[in-house]
Amino acid sequence: MSRLHIQGLLLIQSLILFPRAFSNILPNTDNCCILDERFGEYCPTTCGVSDFFNRYQTDVDTDLQYLEGLLNQITNYTSGTSIIVEDIRGSGKKPATSQQTIDPMTQKSKNMLEEIARYEKTIVQYEENIQYLQEMYSSNQNKIFLLKQKMANLEIQCQQPCKDTVQIQEFTGKDCQEVANKGARVSGLYFIKPLKAKQQFLVYCEIEPSGSAWTVIQRRLDGSLDFHKNWNQYKEGFGYLSPNDKTEFWLGNEKMHLISTQSPIPYVLRIELEDWSNQKSTADYSTFRVGSEKDNYRLTYAYFMGGEAGDAFDGFDFGDDPSDKFFTSHNGMQFSTPDKDNDKFEGNCAEQDGSGWWMNRCHAAHLNGKYYPGGSYTEADSGPSGYDNGIIWATWRSRWYSMKSVTMKLIPLNRYGVDGQQTQFGGSKKGDLDRGDF
């Protein structure tokens, strides 16, 4: 126990025992300033008390001062403790993120951490961008390398003398037969000028060893040329001619008109077909003519001359309606394109089938149709319309069979000869009451 506590207890005990001590002392003249029998044994003891305090005053004052100092310290400690307790209680009630409880240094540190987090996020994003750019750079480097190789090959080719790969023969005439009559014996590109033509134009002439010459007006080979064209394109022609005749083209309705109507000697139209089994067949028509633009390039012929491919121009009986054959014949029909409807159908056959042709309602032959590799196709393959829009010759193959190759060519009747080509008939078509061919 501390000295303070011991001295305090002694003082308290002495104060408690003080009256008891004096109560055992009989009052007399020695211990009582005024002795009076009226007070009995309880006479006033003020003088004794005074003497007692006089004797112990110094020690008591010292002890009291010491106690007072201790009490002051305890009071100070108590005040500080109360403040701390209040702060602890307040910290439990206020949010930790409150601006009032966060000192400036803590807030500054927090801001720095947030800034560092933003920088780290930005760095990660930049790293991703850098990786993407590096990949693009590598890809571009590969492309540049390939382009450099191509450039090097082209430079080597450019060092060689230029060659004219397109050879146009020197003979000319009103058609290919007249070119051959003048001595031409090589099939190739020739300029011809029909009697009513304002200027000459280029054609491919197919010249036989006998001297008979065909003027080719259409060629389908591989589907490389889109035949979905408008009226003016079919009028002027599209595609391009090649010296070896290995390209697809449509010579042009106006040119066909000028050739087929220029001479009193009628022309024969031969149609050559090849299927995907490499079987070939023909269909020949006498006195083939294409009318003028005023008559919408109407197709006419005198009669079917023969050919194992059959007479699809005369229509085809699909078996669903007696009028099928009548409404799919082509003789006397005007030319129609998706943008110019001249057919006998309420709708536009050319628009539905996607190409120009001499449409009725609608066709049994359609040599400008869509090219389907492999031959066979379905309604689903033909698109939303669901019509038979392939390269069709219904009297030889089904309308759901598209030819591999087609050639249309003209020759004067007096030079026409049969070469004995062998093919097979086949195919059937499903009819429809609206379109004769569907």
Q: What is the DSSP string of 124-184?
A: HHHHHHHHHHHHHHHHHHHHHHHHHHHHHHHHHHHHSPP----PEEEEEESSHHHHHHTT-
Q: Which of 387, 391, 335, 399 is nearest to 367 (CA)?
A: 391
Tokens 């020695």, located at residue: 30
Cα distance between residue 84 and residue 81, in whole Å: 5
* Alpha helices (runs of H) in 292-417, residue ranges in sequence order: 324-327, 349-353
Would you place residue 107 in the very low, low, confident or very high pLDDT band (cuts 50, 70, 90)? confident
What is the Cβ-side half-sphere exposure of residue 307, based on CA atoms within 13 angstroms? 25
Q: What is the DSSP letter of 391?
A: S
Cα distance between residue 250 and residue 151, in whole Å: 35
Checking if the pLDDT of 365 tops 80, the result is yes
**Which two tokens mark 212?**
């008979």
Residue 1 CB partners (closer than 8 Å, separation 6+):
none
CA-CA distances (angstroms) from residue 219 to 28, 158, 194, 337?
164, 33, 21, 18
The partner residues of 284 in beta bridges, in order of sequence, read: 270, 306
Residue 168 CB partners (closer than 8 Å, separation 6+):
188, 189, 190, 191, 202
Alpha-carbon Rg for the chain, nearest whole angstrom, is: 61
Residue 40 CB partners (closer than 8 Å, separation 6+):
none
Q: Where are the domains of the chain?
A: 3-93, 169-415
Checking if the pLDDT of 72 tops 90, the result is no
Q: How confident is the prediction for the chain on average, in pLDDT?
A: 82
Checking if the pLDDT of 208 tops 90, the result is yes
Q: Say which residue, 187 or 127, is predicted with more confidence.
A: 187
CB 330 within 8 A of CB 313: yes
Share of the chain above pLDDT 70, in %: 75
Residue 356 CB partners (closer than 8 Å, separation 6+):
227, 229, 231, 234, 335, 336, 337, 338, 350, 368
User: Vertex 302, ends 236 and 296: CA angle to 5°?
Assistant: 30
pTM of the model: 0.61
Q: Say which residue, 139 or 4, is predicted with more confidence.
A: 139
> Picking from 1-5, 159-163, 353-357, 393-397, which range would have the lowest pLDDT averaged per residue?
1-5
Q: Count of CB atoms within 10 A of residue 348's CB?
A: 18
CB 54 within 8 A of CB 5: no
Checking if the pLDDT of 21 tops 70, the result is no
pLDDT at 423: 34
**Which two tokens mark 18?**
């003080």
CB 175 within 8 A of CB 197: no
What is the average pLDDT across 144-151? 85
Q: Count of CB atoms within 10 A of residue 262's CB?
A: 16
Q: What is the pLDDT of residues 213-250, one digit of tens each?
A: 999 999 999 999 999 999 999 999 999 999 988 999 99
Cα distance between residue 413 and residue 156, in whole Å: 52
Checking if the pLDDT of 367 tops 70, the result is yes
Q: Which of 342, 135, 223 is nearest to 350 (CA)?
A: 342
Q: Count of CB atoms within 10 A of residue 243's CB?
A: 16
The CATH-assigned architecture of domain 169-415 is: Alpha-Beta Complex (3.90)
Tokens 């080597």, located at residue: 156
CB 350 within 8 A of CB 359: yes
Cα distance between residue 410 and residue 177, in whole Å: 9
CB 340 within 8 A of CB 316: no
Q: Count of CB atoms within 10 A of residue 225's CB?
A: 17
Q: Which of 284, 219, 277, 276 is nearest to 421 (CA)?
A: 284
Q: What is the DSSP letter of 381?
A: T
CB 369 within 8 A of CB 341: no
Cα distance between residue 206 and residue 221, in whole Å: 16
